[in-house]
Structure formats: C-alpha cells, structure tokens
Amino acid sequence: MATIYAPKRHQTRFPITPRSKFNDEEIKQIWLDYKADPSRKELRNKLVERYLSLVRYNGERIWARLPEGVELDDLISAGIFGLMDAIDAFDMNRGVKFETYCVPRIRGAMLDELRTMDWVPRLVRSKASKLSEATKTLETKLGRAPTPQELAAQMELSVPELEKLMTEANAVGLISLNKKWYETDSYKDVREIDILEDKKGEDPTRRVQKTDLMRLVTKGLNRNERLIIILYYYEELTMKEIGATLDLSESRVSQMHSSIVQRLQTQLGRRRPEFGNR
C-alpha cells in the first residue's frame, strides 16, 4: 500500500524513498487512471512516491547554494507541493516527459517559498545592493573588473567579510532569477532561472528560445565568464569547484558571477517585449 503524503509547510521529516516499486507500465496506467478520475488521491500519492526523488535532488542542489539558516526540509516541503501541482496540471497528450515538465515547477515552488519566508535579512539585501553599486563604480573608475581587495577597500570591509557578503548576494541573485519572464498559458510559464538550465527532452519551442537567449547573453562574455555560467547553471558546480576548474579563487568566481548576473538580467529585460508578443 502506498504511503499517503500530506505535507505541511514546516514539517521537518519526509519519508524520502528510493525509486518506487512500480514499473514504467504500471506508472503509465496509474497516470491514465488518475487523469480519468482526479478525485482518487491514492493514485496521486503513488505518483508522488514515484517522483519524490526529484524533489530531494533539486532541494539539495538549491540548498547547497544558500547561506546557513535555511532548512532543507522546508525546501522539500515546498517542492512536494510543487510536485503535486505539476501532477494535477500535467497534460499527457502534450508529448513532453513528466520529469521535464515538473522539475521547473518543483524548483519554482522552492524558490517561491524562500521569497515567502523572506529568509534573506533586509540588511543582506541592502549590502547586496551596495556591493552591486561598488562593483559598478570601480569598473567605471578602473576600466576593468576590480579585485576582491579593491572591492573590499571600497566597501570598507575585510576580504573575509566581502567573501561572506558575496555568498549571500549570490543567493539573493538566485531568488531574483526565479521571477516569471513571460506568461502564455499555465503550461508554458517560463522563469528566468529556467532559461539558464539545460533540460533534456524539453519541447522544441523552449529549446530554441533558450538557445537564442544563451547565444545573446554569452556573446559579450569572455571565455571564463561563459564557463562560469555554464558550470554554475548547467553543471551545477559550486563556486569553489568552478574556481578550482578555472584556477581562480572562490571569491573571484563569486565576484564575476555577480557581475555576469547583473548584465544578464539587463539583457533579458530588453528581450521581454519580444517574447511577450509570441
């Protein structure tokens, strides 16, 4: 008998199981039966059990990028709600795999929950804004990207304090990239963070849009900047891992990422009207 899941927003433990006991044919039949009668919640619970590992995986990937103070179980709780919503909204006739369809909604639910919790202190948001301003000021003054030491001096911080602030600022950027970019119907809501993710098997329209946007965005970036975007958002490496790959310090990678995200958001903003008319 399948476990019945009734998650609460602040529940602390979830029975995360490995792969469900149902094979592909059985899962297909469960899908058909549930779509024929959505009132049969026991069937939805079986589907939740089947795809619960996706919630755990994506929760851990997001959680790894956040400062201390955010509970992984809170992300998983929100992700389960996102999974349930995706199960209810999924159209089997679209020709898209459910895994492809549900992951952006799981991640989106987690990031929406972070914003609802307002887990980023006001002081951190203020400092992140000042970091952005200081970076732009020094770039204009120096004609190049400032070093961590120069940026720390500009902000009257020690280098370790700057590195801590950069980590927190990158987490703020992660949340801001979750804003809906444009809307058509509920099935095709696209978020800015989705544009930076490489999902296999997605529908052709979104793949073309994302390829077009990545070409536009990376056109003005140098080799290291392009690699940072690819390694951080596509390969989901940490700043430390990227630094080791590119032979750069973790703080330098974090600083470059912040600068790239600012430019990316500006360029995406200029494309909104074009995609809004599609």
Confidence band, pLDDT 50/70/90 cuts, at residue 93: confident
DSSP 171-212: HHHHHHTTSEEE-SSGGG-EEHHHHT---TT--HHHHHHHHH
Q: Please classify residue 32 by burial: count the beta carbons closer than 10 Å to its beta carbon, then call 0-12 exposed, 13-18 middle and 19+ buried.
A: exposed
Instruction: At 9, give phi and psi (nearest 5°).
Output: -60, -35
pLDDT at residue 198, as a whole number: 41
Confidence band, pLDDT 50/70/90 cuts, at residue 86: very high
pLDDT of residue 159 exceeding 70 = yes
pLDDT in tens, 108-152: 888 888 777 655 555 566 777 788 888 888 888 888 888 889 988
Among 72-86, 127-141, 161-175, the range with the most confident prediction by mean pLDDT is 72-86
Helix-then-strand count for the chain, H and E: 12, 2
pLDDT at residue 37, as a whole number: 94
Fold observed for domain 24-117? Rna Polymerase Sigma Factor; Chain: A (1.10.1740)
Q: Please classify residue 94 by burial: count the beta carbons closer than 10 Å to its beta carbon, then call 0-12 exposed, 13-18 middle and 19+ buried.
A: exposed
pLDDT at residue 171, as a whole number: 60
For residue 191, the cross-strand partners are 180
How far is residue 4's CA from residue 267's CA, in Å, rounded to a whole number?
A: 45
pLDDT of residue 65 exceeding 80 = no
pLDDT at residue 227, as a whole number: 80
Q: Which is higher by pLDDT, 275 or 52?
A: 52
pLDDT in tens, 204-226: 555 555 555 556 556 677 878 88
pLDDT at residue 10, as a whole number: 38
pLDDT in tens, 233-273: 766 677 887 887 788 888 888 888 888 887 777 766 655 55
The contacts found for 209-215 with CB under 8 angstroms, 24 or more apart, are 209/275, 213/268, 213/271
> What is the mean pLDDT of the segment spanning 48-73?
84
Q: What are the boundaries of each domain within the chain?
A: 24-117, 125-276
pLDDT at residue 190, as a whole number: 40
Give the angle 234-247-251 at the CA atoms, nearest 5°: 75
Fold observed for domain 125-276? Butyryl-CoA Dehydrogenase, subunit A; domain 3 (1.20.140)
- The amino acid that residue 254 corresponds to is S
pLDDT of residue 105 exceeding 90 = no
